[in-house]
Amino acid sequence: MDFDHLTLVFRRLALEAGDKIMEIYNSDDFEVKTKSDDSPVTEADEAADAIISAGIRAEFPDVTLVTEEQADSHAQKADTFIIVDPLDGTKEFVLRRGDFTVNIAYVVDGKPIRGVVYAPAKNRLFYTGADGKSVEETGDFAKDKVGPTTAISVSNPDNSGLMIVASKSHRDQATEDYINKYAIKDSKSAGSSLKFCLIATGEADLYPRVGRTMEWDTAAGHAVLLGAGGDVVRFDDHTPLTYGKAEYANPFFIAYAPGVTLKKA
């Protein structure tokens, strides 16, 4: 794989999808439907998926594509695949809270080694470069020209006062019980895969997820966090969170800066 090309394509498609999402987000009204699993889906999810899927298939026709909004793709299995959540945080989108992202990741042998996370309402763009190191780009996000980038890196955590980030829409008692095992300096809420990125930039130290997620929800953020020196492990036994699992479903997990002394579940 030409990782220079991969990075540029992922970045461009995320930006194009983000433009379409914001066009719908800023409209007076948009339709919200309910999928078979009772999760919401909007015309923005579907429009962004169409943009990204067409672009991926044009540029990488031989790579398996798995995307949330195409149920047929969930039956595919491959050691190497691209996995997409065109609009992660649909609930945040519907409530117009801004914490939603476009996620595109490249997985090899169970590990997300490249990814892009774009939060169009927050004007934040994170991705792994061709060298596998993660950056945050600033500027006007031109489609054909990469703007200023800053290398990002996880914090050096202070275990006597950790910075926690948790889900805005899914923060339940089980999550609170686990968080309370740690000495906490401060806690913040964020939606979608932004939580991984906040650890990748050192803005948070720990993100426990005690709830259902799918691989398309996490792969891009996971890749960004890995490229910034962080890690993601299973909640139950602290072994690495891997990809290409049955039905692309995740177990509970913990994303963290490696200096955090992890507590048992």
Does 89 belong to an annotated binding site? yes
> Dihedral angle at the C-alpha atoms of 192, 195, 196, 198, nearest 10 degrees?
140
CB of 162 within 8 A of CB of 176?
no
Does 29 belong to an annotated binding site? no
Does 68 belong to an annotated binding site? yes
Does 88 belong to an annotated binding site? yes
Give the Cα separation of 113 and 249 in Å (integer).
Answer: 19
* Secondary structure E strands in the chain: 32-34, 40-42, 64-67, 80-88, 101-108, 111-119, 124-128, 134-137, 149-151, 162-167, 184-190, 206-209, 213-214, 231-234, 249-250, 253-256
Residue list, annotated binding site for substrate = 68, 87-90, 217
Residue list, annotated binding site for Mg(2+) = 68, 85, 87-88, 217
Residue list, annotated binding site = 68, 85, 87-90, 217
